[in-house]
């Protein structure tokens, strides 16, 4: 083959291989659905369980980086402690070796039929589940087809003196091989792709086992870069989790480099004893290395957590998705106490909505992306608490309730729904600011002044409504009703001012859309605020 054919074949194969891994992982993730997050949330009670869950999730999504990102999100949300997250990261390192074992099975000759089966399932079946399975098959077949093309592309390297010299250098200097592994993985942003390429090079006899193993260990270090990049500018929890990944893999690579000679001899022994083909030999080397690394470091999870906490000091604003007050035992022992607990949790949910509203106002003014990230986290926390409180209230409703408790039950249920809707409108405002940034929409100074005025009144009204609910205060509830009328009047007034600016050419059509939608969302928040306050007013009138 000429050089152009070699390059086209190799890079085309690499592209198909990367696409196959991503497409297969996406298909598996769709099949698993929200159960992945639930799996990480519920079954990581200790580091050992975290390792098992990390293995399973990484196998399902075919990405250790993806598992790490999910884990970072759960740590940031308060669903998972740093100690639990370390276990999941260790498991992710083991789970990512499965791809190498799949490649070791050598299914290249069946790649095209597998792609065809996947295509049929995607295009000729309307059932979503079948389509997701088809996507997984298509990605699986593409992985092997890409691998076959990569093999054809690297086969001529065996005859290149320069490449042979590099291989000899890596055999004599393991640190060079380690560096090559790091660079390749950082460049490709996929440890599976680097290992797949390494397996093909070894299959084509273009590289020796002595040179291949250091590259393999460098790959483990390189895969941490994705998490590090993701953690730049992120929360303290995200930075600590990413640093844990780096330290864990660096320690493992250091240990195995010290023991490289006996480890290489051990892998050679396994290759002969088990009659392993070249790709499977690399897979075994990768698997044994990662499993051993976990076994060695798992007892020191506490120490690792302590080290990263010291290296990355500081604390985040705490946003806990999990409820604090919903004890199921109260449902059976005393429904009245259970209702009080549900109200306390609802007030927590309202506090998040209030914080999120303030962040929405800040995002409009500063356009700081960190504000947007916080809003998303508040909205996720609100939605999660909405689900948990609603389930708790459904459990209470199954009990025998007095007339008074039945009324309280309805009040809390309605309030939870109103707060959840406030969260939605808060997110809508954030998305309007995103639209403004994306489409370079400029609002006039007068429009900003009007929006700030309406934000101030709306936030005040919502906070007063929550205060009225918390204190059961009739006077404050009446104030909320009056303020909500002021919000309605302000919304009508600002619409008229906007039309005037539009007619005078001081406002563009796209800016007008942003402005009108924002004041509309704020007006709706006022409606939900008065709904919350009316529960107090109705209660006083009934009594």
Query: Tens of pLDDT along 365-398?
Result: 888 888 888 888 889 889 989 999 999 999 998 8
* 431 pLDDT above the threshold of 70: yes
pLDDT at 221: 83
Q: Using CA atoms, how far apart are residues 246 and 312, in angstroms rounded to an integer?
A: 13
* 38 pLDDT above the threshold of 70: no
Q: Name the residue with tokens 């592309």.
A: 153
* 543 pLDDT above the threshold of 50: no
Q: Which residues contact 12 (CB under 8 A, 6 or more apart)?
A: 149
State the average pLDDT over residues 500-506: 74
* 185 pLDDT above the threshold of 70: yes
State the average pLDDT over residues 517-536: 92
Q: Are 455 and 522 in contact (CB under 8 A)?
A: yes
Of 43-47, 168-172, 538-542, least confident by mean pLDDT is 538-542
State the average pLDDT over residues 158-170: 63
Between 362 and 6, the higher pLDDT residue: 362
Of 50-54, 100-104, 127-131, 511-515, least confident by mean pLDDT is 100-104
Q: Name the residue with tokens 């929409």.
A: 441
Candidates 74, 46, 100, 92; CA nearest to 249 is: 92
* 401 pLDDT above the threshold of 90: no
* 421 pLDDT above the threshold of 90: yes
Distances (CA, A) of 380 to 369, 376, 420, 433, 522: 17, 6, 10, 19, 20
Q: Using CA atoms, how far apart are residues 6 and 309, in angstroms rounded to an integer?
A: 48
Q: Using CA atoms, how far apart are residues 262 and 260, in angstroms rounded to an integer?
A: 6
Instruction: Select, from the ranges 102-116, 145-159, 175-189, 479-493, the one with the highest average predicted confidence (pLDDT).
Output: 479-493
pLDDT at 461: 94
Between 99 and 479, the higher pLDDT residue: 479
Instruction: Select, from the ranges 158-162, 337-341, 527-531, the one with the highest average predicted confidence (pLDDT).
Output: 527-531
Q: How far, in whole angstroms, is CA 334 from its chain's centroid?
A: 38
* 542 pLDDT above the threshold of 60: no
* 529 pLDDT above the threshold of 90: yes
Whole-prediction pTM value? 0.62
Task: Report residue 8 as tokens.
Answer: 């086209």
Average pLDDT, the chain: 82
3-state percent breakdown (helix, strand, coil) of the chain, nearest 5: 85, 0, 15
* 473 pLDDT above the threshold of 60: yes
What percent of the chain shows pLDDT beyond 90?
Answer: 23
pLDDT at 458: 94
* 415 pLDDT above the threshold of 70: yes
* 172 pLDDT above the threshold of 50: yes
Between 72 and 280, the higher pLDDT residue: 280
Task: Report residue 412 as tokens.
Answer: 């809390």
pLDDT band at 158 (very low <50, low <70, confident <90, very high): low
Task: Report residue 138 as tokens.
Answer: 């298509």
Q: Using CA atoms, how far apart are residues 247 and 220, in angstroms rounded to an integer?
A: 11
Helix (H, G, I), strand (E, B), or coil: what is residue 382? helix
Q: Name the residue with tokens 């998705």.
A: 321
Candidates 473, 475, 469, 445; CA nearest to 529 is: 469
Between 510 and 496, the higher pLDDT residue: 496
Q: Are 218 and 178 in contact (CB under 8 A)?
A: yes
pLDDT band at 237 (very low <50, low <70, confident <90, very high): confident
pLDDT at 162: 64
């Amino acid at each position: 083959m000429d050089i152009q054919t070699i390059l086209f074949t190799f890079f085309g194969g690499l592209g198909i291989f990367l696409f196959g891994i991503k497409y297969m992982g996406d298909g598996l993730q769709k099949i698993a659905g929200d159960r992945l997050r639930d799996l990480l949330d519920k079954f990581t009670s200790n580091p050992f369980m975290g390792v098992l869950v990390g293995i399973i999730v990484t196998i399902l999504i075919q990405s250790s980086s993806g598992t790490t990102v999910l884990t970072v999100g759960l740590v940031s949300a308060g669903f998972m402690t740093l100690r639990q997250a370390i276990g999941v990261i260790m498991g992710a390192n083991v789970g990512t070796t499965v791809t190498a074992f799949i490649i070791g099975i050598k299914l290249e000759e069946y790649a095209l039929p597998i792609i065809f089966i996947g295509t049929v399932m995607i295009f000729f079946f309307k059932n979503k589940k079948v389509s997701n399975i088809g996507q997984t098959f298509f990605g699986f077949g593409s992985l092997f087809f890409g691998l076959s093309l990569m093999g054809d592309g690297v086969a001529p390297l065996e005859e290149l003196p320069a490449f042979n010299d590099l291989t000899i250098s890596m055999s004599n200097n393991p640190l060079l091989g380690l560096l090559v592994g790091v660079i390749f993985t950082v460049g490709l942003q996929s440890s599976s792709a680097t290992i797949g390429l390494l397996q093909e090079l070894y299959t084509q006899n273009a590289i020796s086992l002595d040179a291949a193993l250091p590259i393999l260990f460098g790959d483990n270090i390189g895969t941490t870069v994705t998490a590090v990049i993701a953690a730049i500018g992120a929360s303290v929890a995200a930075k600590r989790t990413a640093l844990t990944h780096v330290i864990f893999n660096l320690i493992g690579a250091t240990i195995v480099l010290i023991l490289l000679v006996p480890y290489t001899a051990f892998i050679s022994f396994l290759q002969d004893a088990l009659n392993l083909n070249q790709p499977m030999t690399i897979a075994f080397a990768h698997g044994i290395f990662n499993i051993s690394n976990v076994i060695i470091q798992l007892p020191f999870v506490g120490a690792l957590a302590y080290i990263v906490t010291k290296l990355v000091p500081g604390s985040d604003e705490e946003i806990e998705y999990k409820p604090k007050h919903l004890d199921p035992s109260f449902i059976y022992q005393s429904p009245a106490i259970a209702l009080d607990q549900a109200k306390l949790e609802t007030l927590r949910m309202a506090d998040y909505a209030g914080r999120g509203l303030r962040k929405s106002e800040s995002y409009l003014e500063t356009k700081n992306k960190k504000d947007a990230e916080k809003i998303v986290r508040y909205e996720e926390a609100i939605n999660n608490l909405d689900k948990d409180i609603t389930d708790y209230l459904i459990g209470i409703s199954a009990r025998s309730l007095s007339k008074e408790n039945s009324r309280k039950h309805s009040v809390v249920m309605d309030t939870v729904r109103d707060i959840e809707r406030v969260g939605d409108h808060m997110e809508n405002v954030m998305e309007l600011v995103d639209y403004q940034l994306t489409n370079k929409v400029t609002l006039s100074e007068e429009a900003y002044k009007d929006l700030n005025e309406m934000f101030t009144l709306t936030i005040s009204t919502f906070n007063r409504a929550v205060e009225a609910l918390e204190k059961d205060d009739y006077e404050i509830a009446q104030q909320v009703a009056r303020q909500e009328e002021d919000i309605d009047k302000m919304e009508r007034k600002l619409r008229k001012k906007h039309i005037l600016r539009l007619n005078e050419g001081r406002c563009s059509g796209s800016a007008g859309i942003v402005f009108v939608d924002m004041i509309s969302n704020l007006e709706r928040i006022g409606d939900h605020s008065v709904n919350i306050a009316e529960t107090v007013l109705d209660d006083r009138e009934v009594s």
